A and B are shown apart, each in its own frame.
Chain A
Amino acid sequence: MSLLTCKDFLEELNDYLDEEAAPGLRREIEAHLAECPNCWVICDTTKKTLRIFKGTDLYPLPAEVHSRLMEALRRKIKTAGGKAEA
């Protein structure tokens, strides 16, 4: 029988997902998850949310944005005359 309430579980969810929960707390969370289907679903779907975001680069750097950045830096370095002489 877990001593954790659903509210306690939600408060500890981050540390649990980040594997930062102390071993004792971790065991209590797992006991709660084993007997509370709602919290199990929240935990599972939050884990999947993170996995999906981490697996998808939403905003890869466009080649032309990279080129314009390098051009801006070249101009900067030229006008600064190089850091050593600046």
Chain B
Amino acid sequence: MNPQAAPSNGADDLALVGKAQAGDPEAFAELVSRHERSIFRLARHITQNEEDAEDVLQETFLKAYEHLDEFRGDSKFYTWLVRIAVNQALMKLRKRKSDRSVSLDETFDTGEETMVREIAVWAGDPEQLYSQEELRSILASAIDSLPPVFRTVFALRDIEELSTEETAQILNLSVPAVKSRLLRARLRLREKLTRYFKRKGDDVFAYL
């Protein structure tokens, strides 16, 4: 279990949502404190900057509060929140890149031949090769280099640990579409990290 992932206490959430819907602000505050870290991280991954991520965080919980009566419990409360957050975050991206539309259906650059280029064995304990700060900057720039749809799918599936089905539902994509985007995201990140983590003196290149 990923320590970063939101607690999967869907049943507890529902009880709190019930109380919050009945007008208990403490119950809503408890829902915020359960999920704010995950929503912020997700927004930061999608928008790529802290200011936009903070806006998305606030907009998500303010909207959730405003529309709480519309939550009927058809999905987990957390999934409902994530859906709001992803929509807000993608809207920010679209605004920022008004010259280029951001679509979840991006089909560019999906050539199979580009999926795996470098094959090199990694050092036994790759994380130990760098300081914490260096490692974070390597990981951040790798994920930032992915197109929006890839980093959104990766953040939902592999960072926040939502299921493929939940991710598909949130992004209005089919399950196979989520799976193929996730595979590409994972392989691209692998490729980026290989530059930093490959075993020294083991400069083997291979082409599939």
A58 touches B41 (CB 8 A): yes
How many B residues touch the partner, as a band? 35 or more
A77 touches B120 (CB 8 A): no
| Chain B 26-60 per-residue mask, 1 if CB under 8 angstroms from chain A, else 0 | 00110010001100110011000010011001100
How many A residues touch the partner, as a band? 35 or more
A54 touches B140 (CB 8 A): no
Shortest distance from the beta carbon of B27 to any chain A beta carbon, whole Å: 10
- The A/B interface has a contact count, at CB < 8 Å, of 138
B139 touches A52 (CB 8 A): yes
| Chain A 37-50 per-residue mask, 1 if CB under 8 angstroms from chain B, else 0 | 01001101110111
Main secondary structure of the interface of A (DSSP, over half): helix
Residues of A within 8 A of B23 (CB): 82-85
Contacts A42-B190, A52-B127, A73-B62: A59 and B53 contacting too (C-beta < 8 A)?
yes
A26 to B121, CA, bound (A): 23
Residues of B within 8 A of A59 (CB): 40-41, 44-45, 50, 53
A24 to B63, CA, bound (A): 47
Shortest distance from the beta carbon of A10 to any chain B beta carbon, whole Å: 7
Of chain B, the residue at the smallest CB distance from A13 is: B183
A61 touches B36 (CB 8 A): yes
| Chain A 1-39 per-residue mask, 1 if CB under 8 angstroms from chain B, else 0 | 000001100110111010000000000000000000010
A10 to B119, CA, bound (A): 13
B25 touches A10 (CB 8 A): no
Shortest distance from the beta carbon of B63 to any chain A beta carbon, whole Å: 10
Of chain A, the residue at the smallest CB distance from B189 is: A49
B54 touches A53 (CB 8 A): no
A50 touches B158 (CB 8 A): yes
Residues of B within 8 A of A17 (CB): 186
Residues of B within 8 A of A52 (CB): 126-127, 135, 139, 193
A57 touches B54 (CB 8 A): no
A69 touches B58 (CB 8 A): yes
B residues in contact (CB < 8 Å) with A: 2-4, 20-23, 25, 28-29, 32, 36-37, 40-41, 44-45, 50, 53-54, 57-58, 61-62, 65-66, 68-69, 112, 115-116, 119-122, 126-127, 135-136, 139-140, 143, 158-159, 179, 182-183, 186-187, 189-190, 193-194, 197, 206, 208
24 A-B pairs, CB-CB below 8 angstroms?
A10-B183, A13-B186, A14-B182, A42-B190, A45-B122, A45-B194, A49-B189, A53-B139, A54-B4, A58-B41, A58-B136, A59-B40, A59-B53, A65-B40, A65-B50, A68-B54, A72-B61, A73-B61, A83-B20, A83-B21, A83-B22, A83-B23, A83-B69, A84-B23
